[in-house]
Amino acid sequence: MEITFARTGQRTYTTVVVRDDGVTIAVPSFDRPAWLPHDLAHYVVEHALGLTQGFWGCVAAGAVFPGMTVVSGRQPPHAAARSQAIMREMEQHGTEAEVLVGILVGIVQDGLDPRGPAAHARVADAWQHPRYVAREPLHAEKVYQVCIALREAQQQWQALAIGQSITVTCAHHRARKRSTARSM
């Protein structure tokens, strides 16, 4: 699956997904990022942590969330039922991904040392609520790696001119990043 985040204005963007089954989907953007689009931050965190059941893993598996529009391609038989089943299953894992994205983005945006005690306290707090995070606690080195990846994505995004894009590729529900800047 390929995901293209195109900068359309100083604080606006569009997201288009081409799934492995050939279906192209427009994903609505609700944020007006000064820093990094929320859905791109999701990609970075999900990829770095190997989350296959976060937002993008669910889209790759066939979920079409409310607001998304199928632009082209033919959906497979029973696509709507499959999408609903994936979204029901995502309720637990999607919350986990949202929590992790929120924590890790907050660490970077607040300028915290990803290996420092304040960052460690934020991450540890998430594991006080097992309802939200089912995985093993993140080790300091993994937090550091994800924060570095978020900073790099931020730099790439902010370097884009209006009309340019970043494209990432997710293969087999496992994300593999490939970024390009190109004119639309």
Please tell me the distance from the alpha carbon of residue 123 to that of residue 100, in angstroms, as a whole number. 8
Radius of gyration, alpha carbons of the chain: 16
Tokens of 145: 């790696």
- Nearest one of 179, 152, 172, 171 to 45, comparing CA atoms: 152
> Which residue is it, tokens 């970043």?
166
Comparison of pLDDT for 98 and 106, the residue scoring more: 106
Please tell me the distance from the alpha carbon of residue 125 to that of residue 11, in angstroms, as a whole number. 31
Q: What is the pLDDT of residues 108-153, one digit of tens each?
A: 999 999 999 999 999 988 777 666 666 777 888 999 999 999 999 9
Determine the pLDDT at residue 176.
Answer: 33
Residue 165 pLDDT > 60: yes
Q: What percent of the chain has pLDDT over 70?
A: 87
Query: How many other C-beta atoms are found inside a 10 Å radius of the C-beta of residue 67?
Result: 10
Please tell me the distance from the alpha carbon of residue 100 to that of residue 24, in angstroms, as a whole number. 27
Is residue 23 within 8 A of residue 72, CB to CB? The reply is: yes
- H/E stretch holding 171 reads strand 165-171
Tell me which DSSP letter residue 1 carries. Answer: -
Please tell me the distance from the alpha carbon of residue 168 to that of residue 48, in angstroms, as a whole number. 13
Please tell me the distance from the alpha carbon of residue 122 to that of residue 12, in angstroms, as a whole number. 29
Query: How many other C-beta atoms are found inside a 10 Å radius of the C-beta of residue 159?
Result: 11
Q: Could you tell me which residues are beta bridge partners of residue 174? A: 171
Mean pLDDT value of segment 74-88: 90
The confidence band for 93, taking pLDDT boundaries of 50, 70 and 90, is low
Please tell me the distance from the alpha carbon of residue 116 to that of residue 144, in angstroms, as a whole number. 10
Mean pLDDT value of segment 98-104: 91
Q: What is the pLDDT of residues 2-45, one digit of tens each?
A: 999 999 999 999 999 999 999 999 999 989 988 899 999 999 99
Please tell me the distance from the alpha carbon of residue 46 to that of residue 174, in angstroms, as a whole number. 9
> Which residue is it, tokens 């309802």?
131
